[in-house]
Amino acid sequence: MASIPAFLLVLLPLLLSAAVSAYPDAGFGFQATLTHIDAGAGYTEAQLLSRAVRRSKARVAALQSLATTTAADAITVARILVLASEGEYLMSMGIGTPPRYYSAILDTGSDLIWTQCAPCMLCVDQPTPFFDPAQSPSYAKLPCNSPMCNALYYPLCYRNVCVYQYFYGDSANTAGVLSNETFTFGTNDTRVTVPRIAFGCGNLNAGSLFNGSGMVGFGRGPLSLVSQLGSPRFSYCLTSFMSPVPSRLYFGAYATLNSTSASTGEPVQSTPFIVNPGLPTMYYLNMTGISVGGELLPIDPSVFAINDADGTGGVIIDSGSTITYLARAAYDMVHQAFADQVGLPLTNATSLADVLDTCFVWPPPPRKIVTMPELAFHFEGANMELPLENYMLIDGDTGNLCLAIAASDDGSIIGSFQHQNFHVLYDNENSLLSFTPATCNVM
């Protein structure tokens, strides 16, 4: 294990003044509410859309950088992870005994659970007081030889206490003590309390938490909430992007698509996860093609494949990215197919032109009838046929009509805008992603 850097030696004695996993049984589960990070902030629809699209641009750049980082470069990995952790939805959870409630950014692209803790030497704004471990008798620091400490990308040790640090650029984004604590999850009659959850108690933090008070990782690694709870199923149903109705999260025994499929009459479709050894925490899918207007585009399958040599490429499904990013070769074909089939002039006169460039002059000329082509993503064993509102959007500043998909220079990411009003199930036990259309605002 690495020795701690000198700049933290002065601060850690102040941080440190002052593991056994508890796996629930097979019937364990809870329901939770997911709130969009910009909800209630007074933004116009145009501002909401612009902010989300630009967050997606930053996130895809970070995930691509992470994919090109060698496993040996642990410090760089740690730096990029926080950049990759900008998300779109907040989940409420209670920390400590008695529980103090915090909203944390849900992230299917990372593992670490962390919040800002008192005493806070460098912290960012959040809507709740910092968690104070001194006020919770169930709080305990983890030793350096604990399995959870060794699961960190870059574990550090100070006086036999495990210290974590994730970096944002050249300054500390979150650093503190890896600890155990009792967590409370769920709403109403599904509320559950689980002891000995490993989390980061951060005393040195920078950046932005976007109206949250920390992060909760739902990735595939040992530090994620999914892995620690030992109930490897969760699902979510994301309401329409502009809807004021919160979205829903289902965990464990509550994560099932049976009732959703019965109510909509649509079958449940499933596709296997694949593992990228370079980024094992991410949820990769085997994408086999894309259809526009019912025509399968001639995209070479290698465009969607993971590069065995360096872990680049591949297709990730990611709740923390709003729009979808397609590898350049695939995007160019989708762009051309829409340009050919829509029959309207393309325009770059849009406030989102630095991200979206398949945009059409809107509204169309008088008496011009426009039919938008259907869009479908094809995966191994499953087809995701997208409703129009999941791939076309109106730029609120210009009124132009844009395809909510952008080009990526490495790999592809299926964003949350594309799976709104789908009930999506992550089944880690069977390594399957399943989905079915749903009316999420009434679930």
Tell me the C-alpha distance between 21 and 412, whole Å.
35
Q: Which residues lie across from 39 on neighbouring strands?
A: none
Pairing of strands 171-185, 140-141: antiparallel
Query: What φ, ψ does residue 386 adopt, rounded to 5°?
Result: -90, 135
* CB neighbour list of residue 285: distance below 8 Å, 6 or more residues apart: 271, 272, 273, 274, 315, 316, 317, 379, 380, 414, 433
Tell me the C-alpha distance between 157 and 144, whole Å.
6
CB 299 within 8 A of CB 329: yes
**Residue ranges with strand state E in 145-265:** 156-158, 161-168, 171-185, 192-205, 214-217, 233-237, 247-252
- Of 111, 318, 395, 427, catalytic: 318
Q: Is residue 107 flagged as an active site residue? A: yes
Residue length of the chain: 443
Distance, C-alpha 405 to centroid of its chain: 17
Write out the two tokens for 134: 């001194």
Q: How far is CA 147 from CA 20, 53, 189, 291, in A?
A: 9, 38, 33, 45
- Of 107, 111, 395, 410, catalytic: 107
Distance, C-alpha 132 to centroid of its chain: 27
Up-side HSE of residue 314: CA atoms within 13 Å toward CB?
A: 27
Q: Is residue 332 flagged as an active site residue? A: no
Q: Closest by alpha carbon to 436, among 266, 253, 263?
A: 266
End-to-end CA distance of the chain: 47
User: Alpha-carbon dihedral of residues 270, 320, 242, 235, nearest 10 degrees?
Assistant: 40
Q: Is 421 left (phi over 0), alpha (psi -120 to 50) or beta?
A: left
Tell me the C-alpha distance between 415 and 228, whole Å.
25
Q: Could you give the residue ranges of the DSSP H alpha helices within 73-123?
A: 74-83
Q: Which residue numbers are catalytic?
A: 107, 318
